[in-house]
Copies of this chain bind each other. A is one copy, B any other.
Amino acid sequence: MKIQLINPNTCQGMTDKIALSAQSVCLYSSEIIARNPAHGPESIECALDETIAAAALLDVIAQGEAEGVDAHIIACFGDPAIDAARELASVPVIGIAGAAFQLASLVSHRFGVVTTMSRTLPAAEHLLHRYGYHHLCSGVRATDIAVLDLEQIQASAYQQLLQECRAAINQDGAEAIVLGCAGMSDLTAELSAALNVPVIDGVAAAVKLAESLHALKLTTSKSGNYAAPLHKSFHGRYQHWSR
């Protein structure tokens, strides 16, 4: 199957990194097509970034659909534009936050989330509510590491990340850790070894869920709220959306 893995920001380094993470866990028969939009912010750390990136990533969804991919993954922990993407897509669309919460709940009674900037906490809280996992989460902690600083993570930042994971376990009662940023996916194994509890990377989780749905021939229901968008005119820089 072809899995389109979308990094919704414009940082090529992060796109390359999550492609490696995905390839390291996917089936031999799966092909990972990693992309990021040509337009938008270089990282997503506040509501402005997310609102712009949401519009931009839909172009990538449309491109993947045109090419006949078998699933789309939105690889930003805010799961931006997931409803619009599901309207556009004929195949499953999976967000990495939702994917991580699902697998974390299968291996723990309570999981903690450790994320980047404090400004992203409301987005994580919102998704816990939307997906129904709030009561299974022991808390969300910010490291205040900037997303782009994960690209070449310094020892001090790694220590800060490790420390928040430990606080989640020892103070909040987390029995597993969900990594709250796609840019942390390359640190999963190291953190898991250090912490001795399951550490869940949403990118890897989403890849396995995409493969699972494909094996079961399950795809986005087009009956109801994820039916194809209504035909209408779009103007200006969004004219290409006119149908």
**Chain B neighbourhood of A152, CB < 8 A:** none
Residue from B81, B198, B232 in contact with A221 in the complex, judged by beta carbons closer than 8 Å:
B198
Instruction: Give the number of residues in A that approach B within 8 Å (Cβ atoms).
Output: 87
**Chain B neighbourhood of A106, CB < 8 A:** 92, 94, 98, 209, 213, 218
**Copies of the protein in its oligomer:** 6
A225 in contact with B42 given A48-B241, A132-B134 (CB within 8 Å): no
A122 to chain B minimum Cβ distance, whole angstroms, is 5
Question: Known pairs A42-B234, A175-B223. 15 more at Cβ < 8 A?
Answer: A10-B234, A38-B235, A39-B236, A41-B238, A48-B87, A48-B88, A109-B122, A109-B225, A109-B226, A117-B230, A132-B132, A132-B133, A169-B223, A192-B217, A196-B223
**Cβ-defined contact, A46 with B102, below 8 A:** no
Residues of A in contact with B (beta carbons under 8 Å apart): 10, 25, 27, 37-43, 45-52, 54-56, 58, 81, 83-84, 86-88, 92, 94, 98, 102-103, 105-110, 117, 119, 122, 129, 131-136, 169, 173, 175-176, 192, 196-198, 200, 204-205, 208-209, 211-213, 215-221, 223-227, 229-230, 232-238, 241
